[in-house]
Amino acid sequence: MDVSQYLEIFIDETKEHLQSLSDNLMVLEKEPENKDTINEIFRAAHSMKGMAGTMGYKRMQKLTHVMEDVFSEVRSDNIKVTADLVDVLFRCLDALEAYLDNIMNSADEGTEDNEEIVNLLKKTLDGGASPEEETAKPAAGQESAEDKNESEDDQEKRKYKNFKFAEFERHAIIEAGEENKNVFAATVYVQENCLLKAARAFLVFKELENLGEIVKSTPSVQDIEDEKFDLDFSICVITEQNEEKVREAILSVSEVDAVYMEKLDTSIFEASASKEEETTKSDTKEESNATASQAAKAAEQKKAPAKAAGSKPVINRSVRVDLEKLDELMNQVSELIIAKNGLVSASEHDASLSSQNFTEQIEYLERITTNLHESVMKVRMMPIESVVNRFPRMIRDLSKKLGKQMDLFMSGEDTELDRTVIDEIGDPLMHLLRNSADHGLESTEQRIALGKPEKGSIWLNAYQDGNNVVIEVQDDGSGINVDKVRDKAIERGIVAPEQAQTMEDKEIVDFLFMPSFSTADKITDVSGRGVGLDVVKSKIEGLGGDIEVRTKKNEGSTFTIRLPLTLAIIQALMIELGEEKYAIPLGSIQTIEDVPIEDIKYVQNKEVIHLRGSVIPLVRLYGLLDCPPREEEPESLTVVIVTKGDKLAGLVVDNLIGQQEIVIKPLGKYIHVEKMISGATILGDGEIALILDANALV
């Protein structure tokens, strides 16, 4: 059977199960007796085993199968969770991630058998229960209904649906009994969040057809193909195989949550066959009514627990959409906005188009395009959780590797960012966290000597601030040694000794973001304070954001990343400089001021203005953008005050055109652009306006 069509679903679901395993193993390490966590890990391993088996990934199936066996014993209290076992399980997780990486790259899991990990798990199993206990213990998912730990819902599932067999079906079952074949009734439950129930049922049927003959299904085969069933269906199968083989075949299908089976006594069918010959039509009618009554009662019983669970959040309300399709949709929205801007521009310059009706239609089109843009942006937005959820595991591993005690505290994981930004921000955050763990936090001995808690703390906080998302990486370590950074900068000839002595600490710390700048005496394979920070800065600025750092000796450091919510369509202030038009993103603008010439002061030969208690440097854009200056200096200047974190700058412009929704168009890698230009936009009259990057100008 060709299962390649399910490869994309397999990859997505495996990623979800691996993340679930990672999260739950982190909990298990701290709470080894947590039954809910143990059950979650068992279910994840079980689901992955079935999925891998269905797709033909035998190595992956083997590893998850042994994991499932281990947690079956843990659930039965035959094996205790130890630190060594958790370490082995994390190695399993790494091996499974490696398998998935290979599958994503080549659709093949690779040749690594991970025999060492498998043997370690088997060794755990051998020491977990005696052979006598193993023999006496029922198979996983096959506990008796009287088991005190079994839920009422599980007991209810064991009450199999009564098959209503036709004459030829009863004879087939009787013949099977005469030939010493087994007849099993199985009720199969698929997971609640299963996307393709009919496909899963089809795979179950294919597995059972390889073992024998399917006599009956409830609901009918046609109804199952049409997905006209809830979360379960029943099958009667004739086979020479034993019950365990049949069970394994069903459970090998992914997204099968559970299967409950019983072996049918064929002698009952022989007795009922002779009895039915004497049954009257009225008896048949009465039996039919009774059966309908039982079915209705069973349906009500099944509805009851579902109703009780109504308070649970609705799951699986999302669909997976290829990012390229979203990009194409976004491009169409962008063109619509450009067309709208063209109509607005035409109505402003052509008196014949400025009628009230035309103006109303333009306003209506503007509302529609704005709403459409917002809707598309919401589709593209993803919680930052998808990036940061792997960091607790990373900090846990670094804690062991570096021999330091540390905790990671995260907040704002539900803060949303554009999918494009989400895909790019993971590596910079990882660099910053590794720096904090390796060089930010002191050793346990040093922390005790300084009167600090033995365990160091790292915080990762995310929150929305206007049209930006702010992500902070903070630690309570030793802070950055500013004097050491200053000395290194002087040694490398970056700054003169006299100039370095007059620089503020914040300016000195910014040297860390220069290429290959590091103060580390010893470079480790984890990180070096400064190593990689130039890459971090380049990546973040490439996303239209900025990064700054605050530090205090023996109290720690805070790296603050500020990113735009979107990279495609923004609100901007259109300005004129000479005969050229430029756009300044609205999110970077704090205020607009009219400044008299006589209010301009000079500090170290640089123009500044004093505004509401702040000294703000002026930036003359003429020289930076190579524009011819005005012939006569006006009596007052129009100054756009832009902000970057806690820094301010005043951009001197000629005229203000007004606020406008613009589409950011990249200029391409073949056009050399200074950092102050972040892109271009097409105006309503067809003109091109460059977009100024306020972060580079401050």
Residues serving a catalytic function are: 46, 68, 435
Query: Please, are residues 454 and 523 in contact by the beta-carbon 8 Å criterion?
Result: no
- Residue 339 falls in which region: left (phi positive, over 0), alpha (psi -120 to 50) or beta: alpha
**Angle between the N-to-C axes of helices 167-178 and 266-276, in degrees from 0 to 180, rounded to the nearest 10:** 140
* Non-local CB neighbours of 333 within 8 Å, separated by 6+ positions: 369, 372, 373, 376, 569
* Residue 32 to residue 25: CA distance in whole angstroms: 9
* Non-local CB neighbours of 70 within 8 Å, separated by 6+ positions: 79, 85, 121, 124, 125, 128
* Residue 424 to residue 462: CA distance in whole angstroms: 16
Query: Please, are residues 539 and 424 in contact by the beta-carbon 8 Å criterion?
Result: yes
Pairing of strands 212-218, 232-239: antiparallel
Token output for 577: 């400089």
Pairing of strands 647-653, 614-620: parallel
Listed residue (398, 379, 255) closest to 328, CA to CA: 379
Listed residue (481, 506, 514) closest to 644, CA to CA: 506
Helix (H) or strand (E) holding 620: strand 614-620
* Residue 464 to residue 471: CA distance in whole angstroms: 9
Q: Is the dihedral of CA 578, 582, 588, 591 positive or negative?
A: positive
Using only the alpha carbons of the chain, give its radius of gyration. 34
Listed residue (575, 556, 570, 576) closest to 630, CA to CA: 576
Q: How far is CA 27 from CA 75, 394, 467, in A?
A: 16, 14, 35
* Residue 83 to residue 64: CA distance in whole angstroms: 20
What sections of 578-636 are H helices per DSSP? 621-625
Listed residue (214, 361, 341, 254) closest to 684, CA to CA: 341
Other residues' Cβ atoms within 10 Å of the Cβ of residue 591 = 13
DSSP per-residue string spanning 401-441: HHT--EEEEEE-TT-EEEHHHHHHHHHHHHHHHHHIIIIIS
Q: How far is CA 676 from CA 227, 431, 545, 576, in A?
A: 57, 26, 12, 16
Query: Please, are residues 125 and 70 in contact by the beta-carbon 8 Å criterion?
Result: yes
